[in-house]
Amino acid sequence: MNPEARRLVDRLWMFCNFLRDDGVSSLEYLEQLSFLVFLKMADETEKLNAQKSNPDEHKHVLPDTDEWRGRGWPELIDLTGDPLEEAYTTLLNDLGKKSADDQDTALSLIFNRARNRIENAANLRRLIVDLIDKERWMDAQSDIKGAAYEALIARSAEDTKSGAGQYFTPRVLIESIVRCMRPTPYDTITDPACGTGGFLIAAHDQIMREYGEHLPDEDLDRLRTEAFWGTELVPGTARLAAMNMLLHSIGDPDGRPLIDVEDALAKPPSRHASIVLANPPFGRKSSISVTNGEGKAEREDVAYRRPDFWLEQPTTNKHFNFLQHIGTLLTDKGRAAVILPDNVLYEGGVGAKIRKELLLNYNLHTMLRLPDGIFHAGGVKANVLFFDAVPGDRAEDEPPRTTQLWVYDLRTGNRFTLKQKPLKPEHLAEFETVAFGEGDLDRSNRKAGERFQAFDSDKLLADETVNLDIGLIDPAESEAGANQSASALTLAVAKDLRDALAEIEALAEELGVELPDISRG
């Protein structure tokens, strides 16, 4: 990391640790940081615009009305004590409202249902005056600010109490996948489970590194405002993604939001992408929280029935639902890379049908078997599936669109941890070379090796289970669902219970309902 970015991260994270004594989690701190940095950026933009001689070039980030004159950062910087806390709370509430023409913007997304979590006014002033106000957030070193913000997200993922880790995919893995996908300035790129926006930002950075110096302004503008979009179910995470993207120069504060806050699986896509990158959230079932007639929170498993899904039979397995959804998101020659757990490879019933459809109607050309210990969610065994859409409908008597599935085993003999032995770029270098080479997307010159094997789709389809739990040097490294240990199942159930409790607490907080203290049993 750039030394300047590291300096900024250390300063900001030190204050995060300081706020823990006030009961502010790292995820809540990131949220408050997003609000305040946005307001500081808006103030810097206003000051830069005021220096322009042409009034038509004056661009307002906050609402351009008389009642908003002098509001935002200027009204916070000189206040202390209760007046500061009151002004900040009021400001967040006002910014969360839609514009007069009822249009959603990045501004309304970031501040939707925003609340002040820093109730100690002295600490709030320190954050405003001593940290954020001393930095310039709109200067030429925006890459430093973006890198610093993303590093803070990575650190917050280590906070198990906040649950931030479930939204975080290791940056090393993201960047390797993006290099394999080789995005261009003319691609449209989406992530239907975008979390804090890591895949979208990495793809944008890769394009700018390879093509940025030679792109005309219209292409640069398209990359900034149109080429990328994501979907995120959790509003708090979506606001972090929106802020993360703005700090990486993707999107406009007063432009349409590039993150849709909704259930990506609920309906067919309204637009399609030439590249889909995704790591759908871990956990087997799709579920939502609802409020019944008595005002109580309940969880409901969701089996999505969509006319564009591959199978008429609905399933509550969210990984199978996401796999189908990603297939429908692709343009005719689109390509996808998606991280999925092992159960997708072998689970019976609807799973076998999903895998059959994938092999028959898409080109599932590559699978990377990932090692243990690289995700914050413990005990996860996962894989990256790379597949392409093929134009036209396939007739029943035509051969499968997948001719060979190449599998790279990074799992056997490799053990990683998040801190002592983290996954590094060099661990993925051989995979990138043997599977995708150093040229274009032509994969015709692949050669088998100890960790890299090819499997004919005809043989895979001949087995009615369509088992894709294959390619490991040591098959014992693969644990089928039927052989999962009791401890692993207990951990999975415990996680579901923690998630349910967190959703109930969040809903109760929004409704203003005080829950009884159950910590003593």
- Position 291 confidence tier, pLDDT thresholds 50, 70, 90: very low
Separation between Cα atoms, residue 219 and residue 506, nearest integer Å = 42
**Tokens at residue 442, please?**
């032509």
Overall pTM > 0.85: no
Q: Dihedral of CA 292/296/302/307: which sign? A: positive
* Beta carbons within 8 Å of 310's beta carbon, 6+ residues apart: 324, 327, 353, 354, 357, 361
- For residue 304, give the DSSP letter: -
pLDDT the model gives residue 289: 39
pLDDT the model gives residue 320: 95
**Tokens at residue 29, please?**
């701190």
Alpha helices per DSSP H over 260-373: 318-329, 343-346, 350-361
Q: In this predicted model, what pLDDT tens digit does every residue of 377-403 receive, in sequence order?
A: 667 789 999 999 999 889 988 999 999
Asked if the model's pLDDT at residue 501 lies above 50, the reply is yes
Q: In this predicted model, what pLDDT tens digit does every residue of 324-345 receive, in sequence order?
A: 999 999 999 999 999 999 999 9
The CA–CA distances, whole Å, from 363 to 316, 366, 401, 405, 408 equal: 25, 9, 5, 8, 16
- In 10 A of CB 285, how many CB atoms? 15
Interval 155-169 mean pLDDT: 60
Q: In this predicted model, what pLDDT tens digit does every residue of 85-110 receive, in sequence order?
A: 999 999 998 887 765 555 678 888 88
pLDDT the model gives residue 119: 85
